[in-house]
């Protein structure tokens, strides 16, 4: 029987920078799958039309990136648990007349931390900086790993409080202390893991973190990738261990690939490829 070629896409605006076509292409090659995966630029006010057009072209699924993850959540007719909690979708499955929305960002982050960076999150003290889509997508997955506590901070602290209110019952159920602390008042040398889920580095903006928040036993993880950010430079100056977010990017793609093809791709060589590019 001849294999039917399936079609996929990543939708965003801008989209030219996306590594997703290359990552999924590498996964498909390794799995011996026939697949097309293209980058689609959607006009900012025409996301729904873009999705409907792709469905009419018989796409099997799509990844969603900035700035459409919230809109994608509202467009989906069914949601995975991770998408429901994050109220954001980065992966669509198109099945019959249904649009199933998933969020694989948090799964990707935790998999990178645990499997690639060998961090056991259980019982750890975690600081999560940021309250945008990436931070919200990460919280549920981080809580699931039963850290001792998860501290949220953000430039606009009200947003951290809104997330805390939304997640507090779940955190309590897991016996995790969920706190919100002003970024200038963080306890010094307290955290095992500090995650930067802001886009501050895009504008070379300083987060205003005291140097003493870092120490040589903590891991500073920046979801951004492709360049050494100010956050990573500051962490290194205080002898903290560091990682960029390329592993998260590849792992969230691997989870999307699994949702679509029921095949778990090998990620290490793909992460190494992009890190050494």
* Among 19-27, 55-63, 71-79, 202-210, the segment contacting ligand NDP (CB under 6 A): 202-210
The side-by-side arrangement of strands in the sheet containing 241-243 is: 177-180, 149-153, 125-129, 193-196, 219-222, 241-243
69 tagged catalytic: yes
> Is 106 a binder of ligand NDP (CB under 6 A)?
no
> Is 105 a binder of ligand NDP (CB under 6 A)?
yes
Residue in 99, 119, 134, 220 binding ligand NDP, rule: CB under 6 A: 134
> Is 232 a binder of ligand NDP (CB under 6 A)?
no
Based on CB atoms, which residue is closest to ligand NDP, 50 or 252?
252
Residue in 7, 116, 161, 199 binding ligand NDP, rule: CB under 6 A: 199
Query: Tokens 């897991």 sit at which residue?
Result: 174
Residues 52-81 close enough to bind ligand NDP by CB under 6 A: 66
Number of neighbouring beta carbons within 10 Å of residue 218: 23
Number of residues engaging ligand NDP in binding (CB under 6 A): 28
What's the closest the beta carbon of residue 204 comes to ligand NDP, in angstroms?
A: 9
**Residue 170, SS3 per DSSP:** helix
| Residue 252 φ/ψ, nearest 5 degrees | -70, -35
Identify whether the C-beta of residue 151 lies closer than 8 Å to the C-beta of residue 179.
yes
Active-site pick, 29, 58, 69, 145? 69
Structure tokens at 142: 């981080």
* Residue 31 host element (H or E): helix 20-31
What's the closest the beta carbon of residue 5 comes to ligand NDP, in angstroms?
A: 27
Identify whether the C-beta of residue 136 lies closer than 8 Å to the C-beta of residue 87.
yes
What's the closest the beta carbon of residue 175 comes to ligand NDP, in angstroms?
A: 27
Return d(Cα 226, Cα 228) in angstroms, integer. 7
Identify whether the C-beta of residue 276 lies closer than 8 Å to the C-beta of residue 42.
no
Query: Tokens 């996929």 sit at which residue?
Result: 8
Query: Tokens 């900086």 sit at which residue?
Result: 129
**Residue 276, SS3 per DSSP:** coil
> Is 138 a binder of ligand NDP (CB under 6 A)?
no
Residue in 110, 223, 240, 256 binding ligand NDP, rule: CB under 6 A: 223
Report the interface residues with ligand NDP, using CB under 6 A. Answer: 66, 105, 108, 130-135, 154-156, 159, 197-200, 202-203, 205, 207, 223-225, 245, 248-249, 252
């Amino acid at each position: 029987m001849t294999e039917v070629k399936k079609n996929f896409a990543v939708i965003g605006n801008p989209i030219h920078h996306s590594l997703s076509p290359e990552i999924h292409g590498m996964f498909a090659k390794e799995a011996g799958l026939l697949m097309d995966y293209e980058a689609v630029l959607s006009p900012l006010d025409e996301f729904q039309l873009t999705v409907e057009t792709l469905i009419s072209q018989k796409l099997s699924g799509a990844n969603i990136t900035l700035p459409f993850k919230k809109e994608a959540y509202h467009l989906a007719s069914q949601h995975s648990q991770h998408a429901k909690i994050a109220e954001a979708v980065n992966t669509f499955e198109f099945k019959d007349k249904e649009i199933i929305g998933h969020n694989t960002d948090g799964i990707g982050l935790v998999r990178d931390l645990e499997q690639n960076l060998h961090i056991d999150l259980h019982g750890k003290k975690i600081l999560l900086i940021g309250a945008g889509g990436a931070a919200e997508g990460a919280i549920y997955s981080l809580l699931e790993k039963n850290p001792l506590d998860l501290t949220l901070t953000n430039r606009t602290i009200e947003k951290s409080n809104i997330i805390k209110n939304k997640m507090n019952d779940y955190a309590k159920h897991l016996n995790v202390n969920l706190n919100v602390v002003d970024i200038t008042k963080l306890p010094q040398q307290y955290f095992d893991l500090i995650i930067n889920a802001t886009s501050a580095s895009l504008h070379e903006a300083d987060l205003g973190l005291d140097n003493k928040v870092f120490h040589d036993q903590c891991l500073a993880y920046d979801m951004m990738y492709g360049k050494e950010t100010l956050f990573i430079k500051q962490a290194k100056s205080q002898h903290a261990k560091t990682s960029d977010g390329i592993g998260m990017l590849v792992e969230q793609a691997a989870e999307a690939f699994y949702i679509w093809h029921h095949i778990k791709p090998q990620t290490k060589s793909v992460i190494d490829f992009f890190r050494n590019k």
